Structure formats: C-alpha cells, structure tokens
C-alpha cells in the first residue's frame, strides 16, 4: 500500500543522510520510477526532499528539517491508526505492519492512553462474516501488480454466467458496498473496465509490464441515476425483518400496522436484483402495490414452486 511505503521512505530519509533511488527501489521491491513518483508525493506533502546526481548521489531531506512528535495531533495519529488497522485485517503485508509500527512511534509517552482510547472507539473490519480466502489472496496479487506495473491475466464470469479470458492493466483497487473490485484497462474490450473480485478466477501476474495510460477513476456514485428510475412501492412486513428492510429505507418510511407488522414505502427498481430482494424476505413480506409488480412476483413464486413438483 502506497501510504505505508511513503511513511517508510520518510523515516529512512530522516535516519540516513542520503539514499539512492536504486537502494530505495531494492528495499521496497519496486521500480525506480515508482520511487521517483513517491518522492514527488512526499514533496507535495510539504516535506522538502531534494536529489543530487552523480557518484554518491541520491535523495535527502533538507538540512535543519525535522519531523518531531508534535507534527501530528492525537486526533491525526488516531485517524491514521484506525485507517491502517482496518486495511491490515484484509491485506496482510509487511508494509502495513511497518507503517503501523512507525506511526505508533510518533505517540508521545503522555498521550499513549488518550490515543489508544480514541483508536478503540472505531473498529473497521473489512473481512466477511464467512471468510473467503480467495479475496485476500487476489487482493495481494493485484496489489503487487499495481506496484510493479505487471499485466494480470484471469478468467472472468459476468452477471449472465458467461466466462471469458482477460488480460488487463490494473490501475486501482476499490471497496464498494462491501464488495471488492479492481479497475483496469482490458485488452479484450480495449477499454477500462471494473472487475468484481468474486467473479475473478485463475488470477495470475504475467511476466510482462505496461506503461500507464492516461487514467480516469471509474464513476462509482449512481445515486442520481438510481433515483431517477426507482419507483415507490408498498410492502407489509413482519417486525423480524425490519433490520434487513432498513438497508434500503429509512425509519420515516415505516408505519405501524398492529403490534407485529409495518407498512413500508419501499423504493424498487424493476430488475432481477430487486425482485430477488423482495423474494428473499420470504413469508415475512407481502407485496401490496403497484399491482403489476405484485403479479410479477406471484409468477416468479409459481415458477419456483414448479421446480419442486413431484
């Protein structure tokens, strides 16, 4: 992860007078081009690093510049530790472990208890309730490819069950709505594509590299689009599934209907995904209106029942 590498580079430069790009590249097992970009990022962050060329040249932090423990407030350190700890649950690496250790070294002795208390107030656990070892494995493969500009090859199964072989330049790992994705340039489609990790199989790093293209991050906020195609529907639910329905609604959408049930103003898009959500509520949910969706649900329920006829 880049943030941990940047912190490590800063600590190395503070500890040594001068370090070459070649030495840093060997330490972190990345290309010298990656190190040059990291140094640019460190300079942009306000830490003055300059370079000298020739024999014995390298990078060093300007004389008389010093990072001390007062650089970060207790809130700053707590926020960094919370973020790094959350990712360390799912992405296991020496970089993250080292970054956590080095950030903790900035904690003044008289602030240890305060920062520990603040850090423990929020816990981020990105692991699924039922562990999927392939996700962690694939994340680390993609992470390594991102660092070294390796091409990735894999099999990809789309939403309709069609499997294709792909070769892709990886550009970004994304966590969206409890699902992991990576964004990259697909040679098969000759365009940038977003790949869901749960649909990726046989992922491996190729012994070939790519030169990064002009890159635009993927559009991930479809709020306006979804809002424009949603329709308001009415369902009656048992109180036992209220927490599940609240994943799609707010409390203001609920009206009591006796002691055991609620009438809910439920936002729905007419596609398989939303029909399956309603059906997943089982006999704890009754769809009331509009009529044509109620009829479609009855047809789908009948088709399911037909599968179990003797």
Phi, psi of 263 (to 5 degrees): -100, 130
- Say whether 195 sits in a helix, a strand or coil: strand
Residue of 4, 80, 10 lying closest to 43 (CA atoms): 10
pTM for this one? 0.55
In 109-146, which positions are buried (b, 16+ CB within 10 angstroms) versus exposed (e)? eebeeebeebbeeeeeebeeeeeeeebbebbebbbbbb
| CATH topology classification for 2-67 | Arc Repressor Mutant, subunit A (1.10.10)
For domain 224-306, is the CATH number 3.40.50? no
Q: In the chain, which residues fall in CATH 3.30.70?
A: 224-306
Q: Please give the CATH number for the structural domain made up of 133-209.
A: 2.30.30
Sign of the C-alpha dihedral, residues 222, 227, 231, 233? positive
Q: What is the pLDDT tens value at each position of the chain, 310 positions in all?
A: 466 677 778 777 776 668 888 888 888 778 888 888 888 888 887 778 888 877 778 888 876 665 554 556 667 666 676 666 655 555 555 566 666 666 666 666 677 777 777 777 776 666 665 556 677 788 889 989 998 999 999 999 987 889 999 999 999 988 887 788 999 999 999 999 999 998 999 999 999 999 988 887 887 766 676 677 889 999 999 999 999 999 888 889 999 999 999 999 999 999 998 999 999 999 999 999 999 999 999 999 999 999 998 7
Give start-end residues of each CATH 2.30.30 domain in the chain.
133-209
């Amino acid at each position: 992860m880049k943030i941990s590498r940047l912190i490590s580079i800063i600590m190395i430069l503070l500890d040594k007078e001068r370090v070459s790009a070649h030495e840093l590249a060997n330490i972190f097992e990345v290309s010298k081009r990656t190190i040059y970009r990291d140094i640019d990022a460190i300079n942009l962050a306000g830490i003055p690093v300059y370079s000298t060329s020739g024999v014995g040249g390298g990078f060093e932090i300007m004389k008389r510049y010093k990072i001390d423990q007062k650089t970060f407030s207790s809130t700053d350190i707590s926020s960094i530790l919370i973020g790094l700890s959350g990712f360390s649950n799912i992405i296991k690496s020496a970089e993250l472990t080292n970054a956590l250790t080095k950030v903790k070294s900035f904690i003044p002795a008289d602030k240890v208890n305060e920062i520990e208390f603040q850090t423990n107030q929020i816990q981020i656990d990105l692991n699924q309730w039922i562990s999927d070892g392939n996700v962690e494995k694939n994340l680390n493969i993609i992470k390594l490819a991102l660092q070294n500009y390796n091409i990735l090859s894999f099999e990809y199964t789309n939403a309709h069950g069609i499997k294709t072989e792909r070769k892709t330049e990886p550009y970004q790992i994304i966590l969206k709505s409890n699902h992991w994705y990576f964004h990259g340039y697909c040679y098969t489609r000759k365009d940038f594509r977003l790949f869901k990790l749960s649909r990726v199989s046989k992922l491996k790093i190729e012994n070939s590299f790519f030169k990064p293209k002009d890159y635009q991050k993927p559009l991930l906020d479809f709020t306006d689009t979804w809002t424009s195609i949603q329709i308001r529907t009415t369902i009656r639910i048992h109180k036992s599934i209220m927490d599940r329905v609240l994943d799609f609604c707010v409390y203001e959408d609920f009206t009591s209907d006796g002691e055991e049930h609620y009438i809910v103003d439920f936002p729905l898009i007419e596609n398989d995904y939303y029909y399956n959500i309603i059906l997943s509520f089982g006999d704890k949910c009754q769809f009331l209106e509009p009529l044509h969706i109620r009829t479609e649900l009855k047809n789908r329920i009948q088709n399911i029942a037909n599968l179990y006829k003797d």
